[in-house]
Amino acid sequence: MTESALVRWADYDAALFDLDGVLTPTAEVHMRAWAALFTSYLSAHQISPPYTDADYFAYVDGKPRYDGVRTLLASRGVTLPEGDPSDPPTAETVCGLGNRKNAEFEHELAAHGVAAYPGSVALLDHLATLPIGLAVVSSSVNAPAVLAAAGIADRFPVVVDGAVALDHGLPGKPAPDTYAFAAKQLGTDDAHAIVIEDAVSGVQAGAAGDFGLVIGVDRGAGRQTLLDHGADVVVADLGELV
């Protein structure tokens, strides 16, 4: 049986997509932004070991920005004051470093732009022919800008991003709350919704809820790792599910 045969789209009312690494290769933009932040910060403070791409997948991938800062620093035994979301990027606080990372991300996005994965667009085209609601659920506050830049904003009537989560007091991934909120906005419940994720924290969010299916997209986290953390199906590209 093929992977695509495992997904009976007609059995579900909603498909809930993560954005970065699932619909667009902005995970690569995030990776470069995190690397720019932590390579500089750890080196300037003589903190070992130095930052690597493995740290991205282990500590920051898919998490809200400030959670990523806090978790990465904790892996080095470093604790900073929490600060405030209004802190400038120069502040030596969790929020300050998070805001510095966001500035790096905005710079990378402006410099290089972004295009949706062809396989993801193929799946969206297929789902547009079915009576299934679509939502984006992203930890990033940049989600609307990324969707617009990729030309797919009109595909999603519901977008639950970091700003929406903050406004509604929703804990971020790996908690399932943002996905459950999106399903409710589409008029359905968790059991009739599919979660589609590339990050370990994202598939954990899907597994933590009562969602009908959790699809993992292996963009580097590893097929078995995604399965171990809660994915029911893992593909290398969403085009496989058309």
Q: What residues act catalytically?
A: 18, 20
Rounded to whole angstroms, how far apart are CA atoms 102 and 123?
29
**Distance set, CA 88 to CA 10, 68, 84, 124 (Å):** 48, 18, 9, 38
Asked if residue 173 lies in contact with residue 63, where contact means CB atoms within 8 angstroms, the answer is yes
204: which 2 tokens? 């954990």
Phi, psi for residue 20 in degrees, rounded to 5? -70, 115
Which residues, at least 6 apart from 176, have a Cβ–Cβ distance to it below 8 Å? 190, 205, 206, 208, 209, 211
Task: Give the H or E element holding residue 144.
Answer: helix 143-150
**Distance set, CA 200 to CA 18, 178, 217, 221, 222 (Å):** 12, 15, 10, 7, 9
Q: Tell which residue, 167, 169, 194, 168, has the closest CA to residue 179.
A: 194
**Partners of 79 in the β-ladder:** none
The residue type of 44 is: A
**Partners of 12 in the β-ladder:** none
